[in-house]
Amino acid sequence: MLKAKILFVGPCESGKTVLANFLTESSDITEYNPTQGVRILEFENPQVASNNKGTGCEFELWDCGGDTKFESCWPALMKDSHGVVIIFNANIPSHLKEIEMWHSCFVQQQLLQDSQCLLIAHHKPGSGGDKGNLSLAAPLNKLKLVHSNLEEEPEEIRMEFIKYLKSIVSSVSESRDREEMSIIT
């Protein structure tokens, strides 16, 4: 069975844990409680298979605390990750600047491809779902950006996340196939 590790990163209070719980169908959290270090959620998604034979895929979603005091742990969190989802609160202007640092640390330094990264502009309940044009600096403007609003359009973010999981699975399968071929030849 194929295993894929995906990191949820981003500034404090952006909604990472709420989204992680929603997308993995884990428990609901009602009050804000900052993640200390990391929380690891293991899940399978029946809509995502690792190949056309329908082989399943196991996912580890690493919900990483947004406080930079955990920066010394980041290299350990990044090890062997297959994808990074950067989550930010679209209503907090400073988050747009902060996500550049998250992208630099977690995507560029790991030499991940743009396709292995997803940007989620999370809209908290009551914030209004204003999907106005977010002016993202390069190289963030090359990444896939989706808006999440769990109150108004929960299924939209679920479908986008499944698409993202499928792209991660295909890149993991391809690199595993390349490794196997290099061993054979």
* Cα dist from 153 to 59, 65, 91, 134, 158, whole Å: 24, 25, 17, 19, 9
pLDDT at 176: 83
Residue 82 near residue 172 (C-beta atoms within 8 A):
yes
Task: Give the predicted TM-score (pTM) of the model.
Answer: 0.90
pLDDT by position in tens, the chain (length 185): 788 999 999 999 999 999 999 999 887 666 678 888 899 999 988 778 656 655 678 999 999 999 999 999 999 999 999 999 999 998 888 998 899 999 999 999 999 999 999 999 999 877 765 666 677 888 899 999 999 998 888 999 999 999 999 999 988 888 888 888 899 87
Beta bridge partners of 83: 6
User: What is the token pair recorded at 64?
Assistant: 């990483």
Q: Which of 41, 39, 45, 37 is nearest to 71 (CA)?
A: 37
CATH number for the domain spanning 76: value is: 3.40.50.300
pLDDT at 55: 67
Alpha-helical segments (H) within the chain: 16-23, 74-78, 93-103, 154-184
Q: Which of 85, 113, 119, 120 is nearest to 172 (CA)?
A: 113
pLDDT at 171: 87
What is the residue range of 70's domain?
2-183
Domain count, the chain: 1
Q: Is the peptide bond before 125 cis (omega within 30 degrees of 0)?
A: no
pLDDT at 172: 86
Spatial strand order in the sheet of 83-89:
38-44, 57-64, 2-9, 83-89, 117-122, 144-148
pLDDT at 131: 65
